[in-house]
């Protein structure tokens, strides 16, 4: 794995691992599909402005009766439009409740040699460490299972889920809305409902008063409805547009009002079907409504403008070769990323050979040997591999010892002659650490000057 040098502190939003897009120096956070926000703004602002223009023209018309009644209609329409766009921005531009991700997996209290299906790791990031895929949590007297997130390296809180679009775990995850370009979670669900409900009210408001304008035109000209509509194309367009839009935003408003009254999320409604079993989060209609509209919105768990070390958010895999990774416990891993700091804290300097060791080249050579079909054993290396091999062992949490094999013929010959048998064949026994000793025997044919390992 690559080794990272010290980096200057950067703001958290600059090294954020999610797919979010930040603006105004990290003060505004959007989803990766933030471009859809401009389309939604156009679909709302366009008809709203057209309605206000139509009302203004009506006020300026000398033939209009009761002009004083048109002013409140214009003002209310402008206020509804402004509120709708404001709630849209509040929904889209704030942290929906992102759970801060861990830089490394949590320590497991379970035995690492368990192999039940619920204990397996999918990504193989730490194959020596086994964690349960789910854990039981008690919520309002009900047992609720929480899942482990392989991306965020944490157990998700109850009602949290990982959004595949934003690549974040979100508290009280409802859904990812493409119209606002943001996840809907615990911190912006209130504004989302106000947005869709205000959109519904605005559609009905424009629809009704556009019809009134057409009917007044019919009465004023003493003509039929079709002729009146032909003289007021703008009102006809607003009638058709609002009639179509209200089915979408109106249906969405009714559905989410039902979810609020039963204290469900869209994700839970489609996945768990609480109508078939008891909902552990349902507190009654009144308390459910109060929880959404009158409770305090929790603060963000992430300070996106705070300064952090970039290395703190770099998740490094094991720097040891693959053949020993499964034999070393989690406490025996050397954190190369924090090597200098560990050395300063413990008073022991990290060996220079370990700092300069190029693990990338070593892994590439090992893969090349395996692809070529060469039999490979970590304890029997050829002469070139012996030059690069390094055994790493840790006597405690802070003490590091390294032993480098000699590259000379003399050193190799002395090592091989320890257990040489009479018939020219040599038997070598190695034991691997673990709960049981695993003894392997390999016969190596010794040559006169340079031993050949097969």
Question: What number of other Cβ atoms are within 10 A of residue 329's Cβ?
Answer: 12
Pairing of strands 21-23, 28-30: antiparallel
HSE-CB at 66 with a 13 A cutoff on CA atoms is: 7
Estimate the crossing angle of helix 70-92 against helix 35-60, to 10 degrees: 170
The whole-angstrom separation of Cα 22 and Cα 13 is 7
Of the residues 177, 183, 203, 242, only one is catalytic, namely: 177
Dihedral (C-alpha) 317, 320, 324, 326: value to the nearest 10 degrees? -20
Contact 428, 421 (CB under 8 A): no
Give Cα separations from 83 to 52, 72, 196, 263, 295 (angstroms): 15, 16, 11, 25, 21
The whole-angstrom separation of Cα 367 and Cα 97 is 43
SS3 306: coil
DSSP 133: S
Query: Which H helix or E strand runs over 362?
Result: helix 359-371
Concerning whether 177 is annotated as a catalytic residue, the answer is yes
> Residue 135 burial by CB count (10 A; 0-12/13-18/19+): exposed, middle or buried?
middle
Question: What number of other Cβ atoms are within 10 A of residue 60's Cβ?
Answer: 10
Give Cα separations from 2 to 336, 362, 364, 378, 387 (angstroms): 9, 12, 13, 22, 21
Residues noted as catalytic: 177
């Amino acid at each position: 794995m690559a080794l990272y040098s010290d980096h200057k502190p950067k703001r958290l939003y600059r090294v954020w691992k999610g797919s979010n897009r930040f603006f105004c120096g990290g003060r505004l956070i959007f989803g990766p599909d933030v471009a859809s926000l401009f389309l939604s703004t156009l679909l709302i602002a366009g008809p709203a402005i057209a309605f206000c223009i139509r009302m203004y023209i009506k006020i300026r018309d000398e033939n209009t009766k009761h002009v004083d009644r048109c002013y409140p209609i214009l003002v209310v329409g402008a206020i509804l439009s402004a509120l709708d766009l404001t709630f849209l921005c509040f929904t889209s531009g704030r942290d929906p409740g992102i759970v801060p991700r861990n830089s490394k997996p949590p320590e497991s209290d379970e035995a690492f040699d368990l192999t039940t299906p619920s204990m397996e790791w999918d990504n193989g990031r730490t194959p020596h460490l086994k964690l349960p895929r789910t854990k039981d949590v008690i919520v309002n007297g009900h047992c609720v299972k929480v899942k482990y997130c392989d991306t965020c390296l944490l157990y998700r809180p109850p009602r949290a889920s990982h959004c595949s679009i934003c690549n974040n775990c979100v508290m009280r995850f409802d859904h990812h809305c493409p119209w606002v370009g943001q996840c809907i979670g615990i911190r912006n669900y209130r504004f989302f409902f106000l947005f869709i409900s205000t959109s519904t009210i605005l559609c009905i408001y424009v629809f009704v008063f556009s019809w009134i304008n057409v009917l007044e035109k019919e009465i004023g000209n003493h003509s039929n409805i079709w002729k009146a509509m032909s003289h007021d194309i703008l009102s006809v367009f607003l009638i058709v547009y609002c009639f179509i839009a209200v089915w979408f935003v109106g249906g969405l408003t009714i559905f989410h009002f039902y979810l609020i009254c039963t204290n469900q999320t869209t994700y839970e409604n489609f996945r768990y079907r609480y109508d078939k079993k008891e909902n552990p989060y349902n507190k009654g209609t009144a308390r459910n409504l109060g929880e959404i509209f009158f409770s305090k919105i929790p603060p963000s768990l992430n300070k996106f403008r705070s300064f952090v070390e970039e290395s703190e958010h770099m998740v490094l895999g094991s720097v040891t070769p693959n053949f020993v990774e499964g034999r070393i416990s989690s406490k025996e891993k050397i954190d190369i990323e924090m090597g200098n700091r560990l050395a300063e804290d413990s008073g022991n300097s990290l060996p220079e050979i370990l700092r300069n060791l190029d693990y990338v080249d070593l892994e590439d050579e090992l893969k090349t040997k395996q692809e070529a079909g060469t039999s490979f054993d970590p304890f029997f290396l050829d002469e070139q591999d012996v030059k690069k091999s390094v055994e790493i062992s840790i006597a405690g949490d802070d003490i590091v010892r390294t032993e480098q094999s000699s590259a000379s013929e003399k050193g190799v010959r002395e090592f091989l002659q320890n257990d040489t048998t009479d018939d020219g064949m040599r038997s070598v026994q190695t034991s691997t650490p673990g709960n049981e000793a695993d003894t392997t025997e390999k016969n190596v044919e010794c040559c006169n000057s340079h031993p050949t390992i097969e």
